[in-house]
Amino acid sequence: MTATRGSPAYIIAARRTPVAPRGGALAHLQADELAAPVLEQLLEDAGLAPASVDHVILGNALYAGGNPARLAALRAGLPVEVPAMTIDTQCCSGLDAIALGVRMIEAGAAGCVLAGGTESFSRSPIRLHRPAERGAEPVPFDRPVFAPAPFTDPDLTEAAARLAGERKITAAAQADFAVASHAKAVRAKEQGSSSLVARSPGAREDDFTRRLTLKTALRAPVLAGSGGCELTAATIACEADAAAAVLLVSDEMRRRSALPGLKVIAAQGGGCDPAEPALAPIGVARSLIAALGKTAADFDTIELMEAYAVQAMVTIGELGFAADAVNRHGGALARGHPIGASGAILMAQLFEQLLRTSGNAGETGKRRGLALIAAAGGLGSGMAVEAAVS
């Protein structure tokens, strides 16, 4: 069905695959193969028929074209009439795909949207620049340009290392943050996660998560930086494979389903100087929170992307978030960073914490959540939700 008038958007189901490091348990799967079972599970969770879906929107960053969302939709058994699109805003892609689905419902252009992100570092194409001159050899590249001259287009790790040096955030402090992320993720793993879709034997949980000690973290290889503020393999999220998505519906469909959900109360993107990409979510969060007439303290559950420990630490400090409200189940430092899926994973984590594992949100007092993520080129995205249990 297609909505005929605008409505608030609600998330009534959220799922993700386990996150596996590049070359690990999910390495044999293409991005669309990762996403398809997630889409199927979402419809099963909500008791909706595939024909109920109006649109599929997935984020992806590494596939250099094509339309993985369409492939995933067809693999998931959706009718051929259901359109699908893939968007690329790098790390923000998964969250931006959800925001686009929200806007479609708010505008009355859809009543039911499957949205999220998918990424396979392991199976991503080898990229080459086509030569400008006949007979010349193609030139391989690892990443595209994210900002044109005269803007600075830094390597993201080097930019994070510079930030650590400028803010005097020591390697030891970063290591301590990473250890805490793993510890929270280990506790969550032991409790069991109802948001996971087991995709293959050997990948039934986030297998990078471990009991990381500070001693081990401090011994990790240095990858960038100097002067006591180095970034190491323990304080940078590893490249990974995963998919995650949510089921967005209009208020009318939510009421018919009789399911609790998360009402999307705000979604916003923004930008900053491309030379300082880690800072982009700070301005986005300030603007989003102010527009809602709230303060940072009004959000009791926060999912913040941990591409780099220093990035998360600076964001938490600048926005004044309570440390115990951020990434309660661990972050990307303890899971990995499947670029196009990472923003959608944040929303799956929020859904689980605000609805699945918290029971009645009115009883626990945990009602409002915020997801934040940064991307190359100086982009940031944020989304605020609140539990709707009636």
Whether 241 and 26 have beta carbons less than 8 Å apart is answered as yes
Catalytic residue list: 91, 337
* Cα dihedral: 128, 131, 136, 139 (round 10): -30
Three-class secondary structure of residue 357 per DSSP: coil
CB atoms within 10 A of CB 28: 11
For β-strands 379-388 and 261-271, DSSP reports them as antiparallel
| 230 phi and psi angles, rounded to 5 deg | -65, 155
Tell me the β-bridge partners of 14.
246
* Cα dihedral: 19, 24, 25, 28 (round 10): 110
Q: Which of 242, 187, 176 is nearest to 210 (CA)?
A: 187
Long-range CB contacts for residues 253-256, cutoff 8 Å, separation at least 24: 253/52, 253/111, 253/112, 254/10, 254/12, 254/388
Mind giving me the DSSP string for 168-191?
Answer: T--HHHHHHHHHHHHHHHHHHHHH
The b-or-e profile of 273-285 (16+ CB within 10 A means b, else e) is ebebbbbbbbbbb
Whole-number Å distance between alpha carbons of 173 and 132 = 47
Q: CB-based contacts of 66: which residues, under 8 Å, 6+ apart? A: 86
